[in-house]
Amino acid sequence: MGSVKKITTIAVLVTLALVLHVVEALIPIPYIVPGFKLGLANIVTVTALYLFGFSETLLIVLLRTFFGALLTGAVSSFFYSVVGGIFSLIVMFLVSRHLDKFVSLTGVSVMGAVAHNIGQLLVAGIIINTFGVFSYLPFLLLSAIATGYFVGLVSRVLLGYINGRWVT
């Protein structure tokens, strides 16, 4: 992939993540667990990881969390997003790199969702100085399976589209 095409693709993916971020904030989600989110922006992280590699995806994660915080004005949640996003990226990178024979995009994305939740609980635990927040962990783990599975499915479709028709 040429460098202009690459820069453009990264920019489009960041924009896509920001749009998903805003759209997700508009969807009313029934209250299940504190901190429960669909994590639609993770679709972009998974897709970028398979499309490029670790460093480009890290750039996308940093850009989307930074601009996402500016866009929604939720600056206090910036640290959760950034730590959760990087944590999830590292785990997905390791799983996709080392367990590629056994694990498909779906498993990678589920592990990413799990890591995202654990990363956010860690930040919350450090900020309020109590690791009692981990009592939410079982519910967040179960929801991570569902959201991770969904994110994996959408990423697969998106990757197929990008590889087939847009970026050669």
Partner 1 sequence: MKIGDKIIIILVILGALASYFYFHLQAAPAEEMVARIEVNNRLYKRINLKDVEEPYQIKISQEGGRYNIIRVEQGRIRMSDANCPNKLGVQVGWLSRPGEMAVCLPHRVVITIEAGEREPEVDGVAY
What's the min distance (Å) between Cβ of 147 and partner 1? 12
Tokens standing for residue 27 = 């969807």
Cβ closest to partner 1, residue 13 vs residue 46: 46
Residues that bind partner 1 (CB under 8 A): 31, 34-35, 74, 76, 99, 101-104, 106-107, 110-111, 114, 124, 127-130, 132-135, 137-139, 141-142, 144-145, 149
**Shortest Cβ 105–partner 1 spacing (Å):** 9
Map tokens 């790199």 to a residue: 97
State how far the Cα of 35 lies from the Cα of 14, in Å rounded to an integer: 23
60 vs 111 by CB, closer to partner 1: 111
Choice between 14 and 115, CB closer to partner 1 = 115
Residue 167 near residue 124 (C-beta atoms within 8 A): no
Task: Kindly state the smallest distance separating residue 36's Cβ from partner 1, in Å.
Answer: 10
* Closest CB 42 distance from partner 1, rounded Å: 16
Kindly state the smallest distance separating residue 156's Cβ from partner 1, in Å.
11
Q: Rank residues 8 and 138 by Cβ distance to partner 1 and give the closer one.
A: 138
- 11 versus 25: smaller Cβ distance to partner 1: 25
